[in-house]
Structures are given as C-alpha cells and as structure tokens.
Amino acid sequence: MKKLLYLKDEELKQYIEKIFMGYRETVSDAKKVLEKHSIGVAHNKAIHLISLYKGITISELLKKLKVTKQSLNRVLKDLIKLNAIMYKKNEKDTRIKHVFLTENGINLFNEIFSTQKKRIYKAFVNSKSSEVLSFDKVLKKIINGKF
C-alpha cells in the first residue's frame, strides 16, 4: 500500500493509458453494432444512460454526458429516426421532457450491451472479488473526484 503513496508520473501515465485502452476496447467491441445502425459512440452513451435512468430528463442527460444542447439534440434526433427513444412530457411541468427507450431502443441497447459485457465479464470472472471491489471503488473516486 505504501507504493501507492509514492506513485511517480511514469506510473500514473501508465494507469491513464490503461484507462484509455480499456475504454477504447470496450467501445470497439460495440462498433459493429453501432455501424450497422449508422450511429456512433455518442449515441451509445446516450442509449446507455437512458437505459439506466428510465425517464431521465433532457437536462439530466446533458449534465451526465457533459455535452452541449446542440450535440445532444443531434444524437436524440438520430435515435428518434431509428425509433429507439420516445419523449413523455412531465405531468406537472410540460416544459420538461422525459426520455425513454422504445422496444426498438431496448433491443438496440441489448445488442450493444451483449457485445460489451463479454469483455468486462471475463475480466471480472478472472479476478479476485477483492480486486473487483477495489476496482469499483477506485473508478468511483476517479469519476467523482471524491476521496
């Protein structure tokens, strides 16, 4: 554990590279599915979040994706054309739209997810449970910046 207290820049660069490579490989697993539907990584991110947070608002989606309204609007328009998402207006405030996956969207998500989960599943199965738990904790700290 002491080694972690004295991480050198070169070691940190290697960890950053591993995070990048892990992301690259996980995304590349899904590329054939994305290309088949003429969509890209941005669409994949939106579909993934909409599947996790059923009824997420446009505003919440913008915050989670950290993209501009214009970028998100383009992605959502493409997903509407694919009949992958639908909107429902908020009952109390009709200015607020909630986004849901349609049956086509759920099928698309499942198709993408099934290709990506193989790599992650294999890595977890071939790891000790303590490694999986530690990995999860470290990722959360990287994402949230909270220690």
Spatial separation of the C-alpha atoms in residues 57 and 63, rounded to whole Å: 10
Q: What is the pLDDT of residues 76-94, one digit of tens each?
A: 999 999 999 999 998 898 8
Give every strand in the sheet of 97-101, ordered side by side. 56-57, 97-101, 85-89
Q: What is the pLDDT of residues 12-70, one digit of tens each?
A: 899 999 999 999 999 999 999 999 999 999 999 999 999 999 999 999 999 999 999 99
Classify domain 27-144 by CATH number. 1.10.10.10
In the numeric block, which tokens belong to residue 37? 């539907």
Q: How many angstroms separate the Cα of 123 from the Cα of each of 20, 22, 88, 132? A: 16, 11, 38, 9
Q: 86 pairs with which residues across the strands? A: 100
For residue 91, the 8-state DSSP code is S
pLDDT of residue 109: 97
Residue 105 contacts residue 79 (beta carbons within 8 Å): yes
pLDDT of residue 1: 47
| Predicted structure pTM score | 0.85
Q: What is the pLDDT of residues 117-136, one digit of tens each?
A: 999 999 999 999 999 999 99
